[in-house]
Chain A
Amino acid sequence: MNRKRDRLAVIRDILKIIAENHNSVKPTPLLRESNLSSARFAEYYSELLAKGLVKEIVDERGRNYVTLTDKGFSYLEKYSQIINFINEFGL
């Protein structure tokens, strides 16, 4: 498997974890469930925030949560067809 393909799959996995936790998860459990090192998780996490796939929300007690945006849900929906397209055209 090449690095780029892995990258798309890792993003899909992170988004899936958030979606399966009622679209609200704290960063630490997310790191634990994503099976990534802290450094790599930080890299992906900042990328997801920058792309607008996830957003951070703070509740009334000041606790930090991560939720999916519409774009994040769209990514999860379209992931398989994008991967099929990339494979089909050898990109």
Chain B
Amino acid sequence: MVYPKRFAEVRRGKAAALIYTAKEQKSTFLPTLKKPQRAKTLMPPFPYGMPPVLPALDVVDFAVQLVYALVALALCYAIFRKTRESYELTKHEGLYCFRQAFLLFGLSYLARFLFTLSMLSRDVFGMFMLGRAIAPVFIFLMGFFSTLAIFYLLLGSFWKKYEGRNALLYVAIAAAVLAIISSATRSSLALLALQSVILVAAAALLVARKEKITAMKAMYLLVFATWIVNLWTADLAFARDFELKLLLQLLSLVGFAAVYLRVSKWIK
């Protein structure tokens, strides 16, 4: 019974584990040696080595993400509520698209927060399978709502050019296709790339409009830029610098706050 010399005992927290060195492992399974009985009880609990050291939850970052999502959601919902009476009185098609766009942006922010939460559950709590299974669902929701919001904002400006509601159906299909492609890649990077193309095209269309509504154009471009920044900071793989992320998120809130103030100016 010479087993204690073969193992090096490692203590980590409450669990004590024994690690085999390669040389010792080899000698353990030599046919001439008799395997000691206590060896079974001394087997390491993690057969493939020690468990990964998980990063600690950054409480400040989590709190910032939560507050950011709530403020963005509140601003979007406030714009939606503020324009309700005007829409109900007039049933104006452009107003319909405008307020739906902000409602959808609000839902996108909610989906974005849930996506960040799923990333946290994967990285911090070690729930790899849960994070892996749920993250694509949130990428789909985030992609669908935000793409639809961008299209609605565009349709609000160009509603006179289309007849009936068929355009709404087509943009919903396009948004769903884009969201499916993004969620299939299991990363917000694909969504970021696809939406950047759409936003550049949308910005070009707005700038090329004949009417000289510079304030509106600037505001819409600000909202588009805001969303891209927001998407970039959603994935923990990018923008790891906390201060930079905070600054970008503050800027994106400023975009929505500017729209809200503008709406409040005209609709008391």
Contact = CB atoms under 8 A, between A and B. Distances in A.
Interface size class of B (residues with CB under 8 A): 20 to 34
B268 A85 contact: no
B86 interface: yes
Given A2-B160, A4-B160, A91 B90 contact: no
B157 A82 contact: no
A81 interface: yes
Q: From DSSP, what is the main secondary structure of chain A's interface residues?
A: helix
Interface of B: 83, 85-86, 89-95, 97-98, 156-157, 159-160, 209, 211, 213, 215-217, 219, 262-263, 266-268
Contacts of A29: none
Q: Output the residue of A75, A86, A89 with the most chain B CB within 10 A.
A: A89
Contacts of B159: 91
Nearest to B91: A51
Contacts of A8: 90, 92
Contact of B216 (A4, A51, A90): A90
A88 interface: yes
Contacts of A4: 92-94, 160
Interface in A62-91: 71, 74-75, 78, 81-82, 84-91
B263 A85 contact: yes
Contacts, number: 64
- Which 6 pairs from chain A and chain B are nearest by CB? A91-B94, A85-B266, A90-B213, A90-B216, A82-B86, A75-B89
A27 B248 CA distance: 59
Nearest to A91: B94
Contacts of A87: 213
A90 B157 contact: yes
A7 to B, nearest CB: 9
A91 B156 CA distance: 6
A52 to B, nearest CB: 10
Contacts of B86: 78, 81-82, 85
Contact of B215 (A11, A75, A88): A88
A91 B98 contact: yes
Given A82-B90, A85-B83, 8 more contacts: A4-B94, A74-B89, A75-B90, A81-B86, A85-B266, A88-B213, A89-B216, A90-B209
B62 to A, nearest CB: 36
26 contacts: A4-B94, A8-B90, A8-B92, A51-B89, A71-B89, A74-B85, A75-B90, A78-B86, A82-B89, A84-B266, A85-B263, A85-B267, A87-B213, A88-B213, A88-B215, A88-B266, A89-B94, A89-B156, A89-B213, A89-B219, A90-B211, A90-B217, A91-B92, A91-B98, A91-B156, A91-B157
Nearest to B95: A91
A78 B209 CA distance: 28
Contacts of A2: 160
A1 to B, nearest CB: 12
Contacts of A85: 83, 86, 263, 266-267
Interface string A33-57: 0000000000000000001010000
